[in-house]
Amino acid sequence: MLTTSLLARWCGGRWTRPAPPARRMVHDSREVEPGDLFIAIRGERLDGHEFVAAAAARGAVGAVVERAAVPRLDPAIPLLVVEDTRCALRDMAARYRARWRGRVIGVTGSVGKTMTKELVADVLATRGRTARSPGNRNNDLGLPLALLNAPADLQWGVFEVGISHPGEMDRLAAVLQPDWVVFTRIGPAHIEFFGSEAAIAAEKARLAAHLRPRGTVVAAADEPWLDVIRSTTRARIVTVALDGPADFVGRWTVTPEGLRLEVRGGAGFQLSCAVPVRGEPFARAALRAAAIAALAGVDPNAAASAMEQFRPLPMRGEERKVGGVRWVDDAYNANPLSVRAALRTFAEDPSPRKWVVLGGMHELGAAAPAAHREVGREVAKWSWAGIVVVGELAAGIAEGALEAGCPVARVHRCANAADAAELLAQQLQPGDAVLLKASRAERLESVIEEWTRRRRSGAGDG
């Protein structure tokens, strides 16, 4: 329970009247449950102060609000009045986190953050009480809320840290105060706001600059930007690699039972786990989790068992089977690195006919046209049953695929998800597999719902 008097002290705010302890803090009034504390955040499109009454109606015990908004609010519940709710949120989270005795791990990078965070948390949960970021809530709202809603008596905390603009990492890192940092692959995500991949790497590396004393960094020796990470911190750096020398090295092995990942490291550490998710992205995330397991003293067999039970979160490589067609829904996010990784993984799928449905990659700025054409050239490396390109932003993917020699008959351009669903309703056969990949703003997952609706109504049958 969050003691409301402490929250006021931590953020320098003042209650309009006493409030009971809060079960958790939320910023979306639709998620409020009885006993929650609502924090009103001003956004680009919506102002949370407009939803204080709705939060009260859903059982909120109070609301954190800005002083300027108080005159227009109906004080149906106690209000914690502050100058700036975003700043107050960071202050409260930082002070709460500073009280913890458990070890906190920050996970950052451009691709694979959520999978790595989940695997690391799963492994550590075999050793003690473990908290983690829910989903991919990793920004200036999601991270402090995840901290405030974590139990203070945790033994391990694993939190994803995401940034999209210069200067954000220092603010988030000061709140998180990590003991250990895990870096995933760094690449051109959000390059629109940074101008170069080097600038992205420098910003991501700032998380290591905020390590607590005797901190540790886990990073890949066979991926770019390790030198930038090294230059940012004097902390111990533990390296991992699938290709080349490192402190922890992963190797694929083929057994009669299937594919396994073998990890070997210092002090005789050995881990062998069956691979529950196809592709290199899982291997790299599991390799990092294995390194954390070794550092934390987790039994390798317990860590392997936790990894084998891993399942992707929704829209992050999640598999669904509908009408005899297997859908791989990876439509939560996309950048050039993650799209290439998804294509390579999907190319290994044993299905006789594979379709790829690709939407636009956002926040690439001036690099967007070239990046989409390059992805198109990449997708042309494999023989797909069909390549479906959705939306104006993704048009360059089709152009790149055709330039690389992909047959015209296999490249389909669709204006939107509904058009893509109509095309697939005419083309898909039982036993086919379909990959969906795009940035979240494209809402490409709706292709599945539209296709299902058309199939049920008889459209495209036969």
The full DSSP string for 326-375 is EEEEE-S---HHHHHHHHHHHHT---SSEEEEE----S-GGGHHHHHHHH
Please name the residues in contact with 227: beta carbons below 8 A apart, sequence gap of 6 or more. Answer: none
Is the same domain home to 76 and 126?
no
Question: DSSP code of 22?
Answer: B
131, part of any domain = yes
462, part of any domain = no
Q: What is the pTM of this model?
A: 0.89
Domain region containing 406: 318-457
pLDDT tens for 174-223 read 999 999 999 999 998 888 899 999 999 999 999 999 999 999 999 999 99
Q: How many CB atoms lie within 10 A of CB 112?
A: 24
Is the same domain home to 61 and 108?
no
Query: Could you say which of 257, 283, 308 is where a domain stops?
Result: 308
Whether residue 162 contacts residue 139, with contact meaning beta carbons closer than 8 Å, is answered with: yes
Nearest to 331 by CA among 394, 401, 406, 413: 394
Is the same domain home to 300 and 340?
no
pLDDT tens for 392-402 read 999 999 999 99
Please name the residues in contact with 459: beta carbons below 8 A apart, sequence gap of 6 or more. Answer: 422, 425
209, part of any domain = yes
Query: Could you say which of 290, 308, 326 is where a domain stops?
Result: 308
Burial (CB < 10 A; 0-12, 13-18, 19+), residue 18, is exposed
pLDDT tens for 112-145 read 999 999 999 999 999 999 999 998 889 999 999 9
pLDDT tens for 432-447 read 999 999 999 999 999 9
Q: If pLDDT is split at 50, 70 and 90, which confidence band does 234 have?
A: very high
313, part of any domain = no
Residue 106 has pLDDT above 50, yes or no: yes
In the chain, what are the helix, strand and coil shares in percent, each to the nearest 5?
Answer: 40, 20, 40
Q: If pLDDT is split at 50, 70 and 90, which confidence band does 256 have?
A: confident
Tally of structural domains, the chain:
3
Residue ranges in 99-225 assigned as alpha helix (H) = 113-124, 142-148, 168-176, 197-209
